[in-house]
Amino acid sequence: MHQPFDILLVEDNPADVEITIEAFRRSHKGNRVFVCRDGEEALDFLFHRGKFARAGSAPRPDLILLDLNLPKKNGTEVLDLVKTNLGMKDIPVVVLTTSDRDEDVSRCYKVGANSYLTKPVQFDDCLKLVEDIQQYWLHISKLPPKFASPPVP
């Protein structure tokens, strides 16, 4: 049995959070999902600031699932900050959003997104997507070694 992976879900819509968590639960992979409700909170989590300042409260995630439409700092800003940070840029970021606009897609990839996925409406499709994400990013893909480089605040 492999060590569980840590996934950071950045999502403001409570229903979507619950749906995604439920999908992770039903996928029975045993990975840990941390949830941040806005861009600011996500950055606090990643840089161990604010309520995540206490050591061990915010592990460095193996994968970030990022919504674009977020209060305070939006998803693209979070993505940009992660991808320009020397200690963070090696964390795979999967954009998971409702928008399928060409502008959004290309802007995210330009800023450094590792994948761009749109949220399906039906739960069965959500479940499939969550299973596929874990399968591809956490099992098929070789991830950078954990704690290889400490975050640079």
Nearer to another protein, 99 or 114 (CB): 99
Ramachandran bin of 48, using left for φ above 0, alpha for ψ from -120 to 50, beta for the remaining angles: left
Binding span for another protein by CB under 8 A among 54-62, 120-128, 129-137, 138-146: 120-128
Q: CB of 16: closest distance to another protein in angstroms?
A: 7
Specify the DSSP class assigned to residue 50.
Answer: G
Site string for another protein, 40-79 (x = CB under 8 A): ----------------------------------------
- Chosen residue from 1, 55, 121, 152 binding another protein by CB under 8 A: 121
* Number of CB atoms found within 10 A of residue 59's CB: 15
